């Protein structure tokens, strides 16, 4: 039986390289024209270029939904998994290969409905990875069904007379979980803020949860129309330990100084649904991370390959 070889991590690709956007561009994105997913994809690729992340040491994990096609459009490693199961897969990847940069991309149904249990415990485990919730408030891939974040009264194929329940608030849920360490919100139509928020999330040592408000051009095109027409109605949370984008000061004049270390105020700001707030709500880099306190054995790449070959040999015929 052939043994596993791993030249990828044998120093072959460890020489100094400079990466451009083209080094992260995968297949041509097939989302609808005007879909917010395009903006997030572009922001993610710019993040990787700025941070100069090696494609072969970067992983994008997704579940099921429009946004979950993300790994196909990145020239990195990727795992397109089952509905709602992106977080446990990503956690397994990061725990077994801590040297990799792991990103998770989920939709509002994928994360907040069938994946809600994994979402809660991923926040609690606080494993070092970046999780992006692309929230267009509808099941878009399955054609206009109410999701947990669909606004009350919004008509869909599953609720033709309008959604009957108040929408779930992903920020409040995240901020209520024990050991949550980074919670932020941004919007796909403000690329400068989106990019700055993704950078802050990536650089956070722990589980960084970012909710990205976005429009679905087919089923929720008017959801944030008021915010686009009146930038002053969007409140930016600013702080030296948060997200500050100088170029947005004249466009978005409504700004509130908020210390991301203040959990009580973060919860209060998240609960208040009278305004849409963008920025870092909470950040605590000192919170314990599962990979640091776990008693799981740490093995080198060579040790892992040896164990894998031993297992393969057991099944040799």
Per-residue pLDDT tens for 175-225?
Answer: 999 999 999 999 999 999 999 999 999 999 999 999 999 999 999 999 999
Q: Is residue 289 part of a domain?
A: no
Is residue 4 in a domain?
Answer: no
Looking at the 3D structure of the chain, how many domains does it have? Answer: 1
Q: What's the pLDDT score for residue 6?
A: 41
301 lies in some domain: no
Considering the domain boundaries, does residue 297 fall inside one? no
Is 314 inside a domain boundary?
no
Tell me the pLDDT tens digit for each residue of 39-67: 999 999 999 999 999 999 999 999 999 99
Q: So what's the pLDDT on residue 152?
A: 93
Please list, residue by residue across 264-291, b when 16 or more beta carbons sit within 10 angstroms of its beta carbon and e when fewer do. ebbbebbeeeeeebbbbbbbbeebebbb
CATH of the domain at 168: 3.40.50.970
Give the contacts of 174 (CB within 8 A, at least 6 positions apart): 119, 123, 180, 183, 209, 211
233: in domain: yes
Mean pLDDT value across residues 154-158: 91
Digit-coded pLDDT (tens) for 67-91: 999 999 999 999 999 999 999 999 9
> Is residue 10 scored above 50 in pLDDT?
no
Segments forming the whole domain that contains residue 264: 31-283
Q: Where residue 5 falls among pLDDT bands split at 50, 70, 90? A: very low
* Mean pLDDT, rounded, for 251-280: 96
Q: What tokens does 116 get?
A: 């809600």
Is the pLDDT confidence value at 114 over 90?
A: yes
Q: Is the pLDDT of residue 263 over 90?
A: yes
The string of pLDDT tens digits covering residues 242-260 is 999 999 999 999 999 999 9
Task: Give the C-alpha separation, 194 to 210, whole Å.
Answer: 10
Res 12: pLDDT: 44
pTM above 0.95, yes or no: no
pLDDT of residue 7: 37
182 domain residue, yes or no? yes
Residue 9, domain member (yes or no): no
Share of the chain above pLDDT 70, in %: 94
**What gap in Å lies between CA 270 and CA 230, rounded to an integer?**
21
Cα separation, 216 vs 101, whole angstroms:
29
Nearest to 244 by CA among 195, 175, 210, 180: 195
The pLDDT confidence band at residue 15, using thresholds 50, 70 and 90, is low
The pLDDT of residue 262 is 98
DSSP per residue over the chain, as a string? -PPP--GGGTTTT-S-----GGGTB-SPP-SPTT-THHHHHHHHHHHHHHHT--GGGEEEEE-SSSGGGGGGGBSSEEEE--TT-HHHHHHHHHHH-TTSEEEEEEEHHIIIIITHHHHHHHHHHT-SEEEEEEE-SSBTTTTSB--TTPPTT---SS-TT---SPPP-HHHHHHTSTT--EEEEEETT-HHHHHHHHHHHHHSSSEEEEEEE--BTTTBTTTTHHHHH-GGGEEEEE-TTS---GGGTTT---EEE--TT-HHHHHHHHH-TTSEEEEEEEE-TTS--HHHH--PPP--HHHHHHHHHHHHHHT--
């Amino acid at each position: 039986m052939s043994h596993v070889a791993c030249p990828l991590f044998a120093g072959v690709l460890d020489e100094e390289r400079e990466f451009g956007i083209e080094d992260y561009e995968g297949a041509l994105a097939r989302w609808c024209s005007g879909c917010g997913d395009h903006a997030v994809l572009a922001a993610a690729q710019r993040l990787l270029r700025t941070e100069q992340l090696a494609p072969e040491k970067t992983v994008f994990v997704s579940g099921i939904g429009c946004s979950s096609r993300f790994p196909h459009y990145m020239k990195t490693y990727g795992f397109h998994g089952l509905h709602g199961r992106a977080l446990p897969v990503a956690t397994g990847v990061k725990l077994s290969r801590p040297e990799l940069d792991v990103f998770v991309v989920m939709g509002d149904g994928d994360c907040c409905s069938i994946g809600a249990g994994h979402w809660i415990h991923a926040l609690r485990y606080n494993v070092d990875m970046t999780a992006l919730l692309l929230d267009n408030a509808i099941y878009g891939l399955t054609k206009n069904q109410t999701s947990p974040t669909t606004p009350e009264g919004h008509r869909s194929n599953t609720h033709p007379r309008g959604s009957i329940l108040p929408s779930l608030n992903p920020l409040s849920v995240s901020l209520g979980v024990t050991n949550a360490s980074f919670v932020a919100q941004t919007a796909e139509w403000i690329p400068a803020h989106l990019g700055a928020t993704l950078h802050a999330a990536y650089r956070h040592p722990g589980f960084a949860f970012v909710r990205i408000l976005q429009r679905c051009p087919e089923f929720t095109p008017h959801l944030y129309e008021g915010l686009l027409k009146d930038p002053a109605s969007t409140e930016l949370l600013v702080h030296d330990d948060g997200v500050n984008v100088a170029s947005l000061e004249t466009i978005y004049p409504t700004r509130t100084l908020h210390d991301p270390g203040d959990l009580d105020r973060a919860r209060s700001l998240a609960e208040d649904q009278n305004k849409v707030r963008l920025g870092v709500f909470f950040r605590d880099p000192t919170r314990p991370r599962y990979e640091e306190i776990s008693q799981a054995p740490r093995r080198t790449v060579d040790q892992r390959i040896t164990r894998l070959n031993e297992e393969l040999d057991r099944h040799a015929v």
